[in-house]
Amino acid sequence: MLHINKIRENQESYLALLKIKNIDAAKLFSSVIAKDDERKATQQKADELLTKGNQLAKQIGELYKIGQAAEANALKNESSTIKESSKALQAKQAELEKEIQDILVQIPNLPHPSVPQGKSDENNITIKEVGPIPTLMKGAKPHWQLTTDYSLIDFELGNKITGAGFPVYTNRGATLQRALINYFLDKNINAGYTEYLPPHLVNEASMFGTGQLPDKEGQMYHSAEDNLYLIPTAEVPVTNFFRDVIVKEFPIKCTAYTPCFRREAGSYGKEVRGLNRLHQFDKVEIVQIQHPEKSYETLDIMVNHVASILDALELPYKILQLCGGDLSFASALTFDFEVYSAGQQRWLEVSSVSNFESYQANRLKLRYKDENGKIQLCHTLNGSALALPRIYAALIENNQTAEGIRIPKALQSYTGFDIIK
């Protein structure tokens, strides 16, 4: 959420930046500022009345104390009238605040000035490409075939007990999954992140804090009876640890493995085949809370960290800078990672590393005290390091040989085997 006062001060430049995201916010800005003007005027009137009311109450108390009940009673009427009108004003103020809030949550974060204009993912810019693209043997298969042939994943069994998009990992397939989770966590811990294992259900306030509510209501699984939501990413519980917190030291670095639950309403076709898109999947997330002056430096460090994991796994990948049109609502700058999955000859998104600047922090009330003792908003960043299913798909597709599926060196101590036959 953008801050209303910042919008006031920087209207023109903000409008120009939002154009990069293909958003024309001129009307929203003018209406939100008008409402805010009204809010201020209302508050001033209400405050005046309340001051008077407080003074009267005090006077009445003092009159009673010295036994002048008649004089005290005479003041009660006035006090009651003031009470009524101040209540009305406070109600109006609350209503205006809600209206302002409702507008502000509709305005996306400003993109970083370096973000290229663009309509869709076709306009993203490839920053780096790391090869080589593997040449597979004749008759190479996509992962959904391999997982069946080698008994790694039972999609049918998942269909039976839950439904499509809920695979059951079996035997060495399950071991490989577990190995990847541990490998990613260890990599992150070695890079200075603190590991957390958070709850997988969160309350409504947390979903508001990171912005899943109100706009993505339909994308999440919801337990109505307890009003709890299944998390779509570890970002939600972990970032919300710091809701309403005034942090003392930077940076804060967290990593967490969680399953992620997404309804993915409206997805279909080859996009969802096999492991490409699931309703439940595993992911290891990294989150940082940083001082505003250091957040872009940190973003680079996080991008390099994710790249180093892919290097170690010997996967071909490319790093993309998202254009305005593809940038998420809350993000100012995002780098996506895609790995090449040779069996289906496709690039698959496996990580998205973003700087949200103060956008989430404003919602979360996540702040620090600057050198002058003034309260300021922190910057938040997060990224996947990494999302499992597509890494899994690329790993087994790219490493398939006539003898079996080879496990990259870095993972062997985690799996306990170097080939799946």
Partner RNA sequence: GGUGAGGUGGCCGAGUGGCUUAAGGCGCACGCUUGGAAAGCGUGUAAACGGGAAACCGUUUCGGGGGUUCGAAUCCCUUCCUCACCGCCA
Smaller CB separation from RNA, 5 or 120 = 5
Smaller CB separation from RNA, 16 or 88 = 88
Smaller CB separation from RNA, 53 or 325 = 53
Smaller CB separation from RNA, 122 or 225 = 225
Smaller CB separation from RNA, 71 or 418 = 71
Smallest distance from RNA to CB 75, Å: 7
71: amino acid identity, one letter: E
Smallest distance from RNA to CB 43, Å: 5
Distance (Å, rounded) from C-alpha 356 to C-alpha 319?
19
Distance (Å, rounded) from C-alpha 339 to C-alpha 346?
8
Smallest distance from RNA to CB 205, Å: 10
Q: Are 20 and 111 in contact (CB under 8 A)?
A: yes
Smallest distance from RNA to CB 54, Å: 4
Instruction: Please report, as ranges, the residues that interact with RNA according to CB under 7 A.
Output: 5, 36, 40, 43-44, 46-48, 50-51, 53-54, 56-58, 60-61, 64-65, 76, 79-80, 83, 246, 367, 369, 375
Distance (Å, rounded) from C-alpha 379 to C-alpha 374?
16
Smallest distance from RNA to CB 217, Å: 20
Smallest distance from RNA to CB 62, Å: 8
Smaller CB separation from RNA, 53 or 158 = 53
Smallest distance from RNA to CB 379, Å: 16
Smaller CB separation from RNA, 13 or 51 = 51
CA angle 208, 212, 214 (to 5 degrees): 65
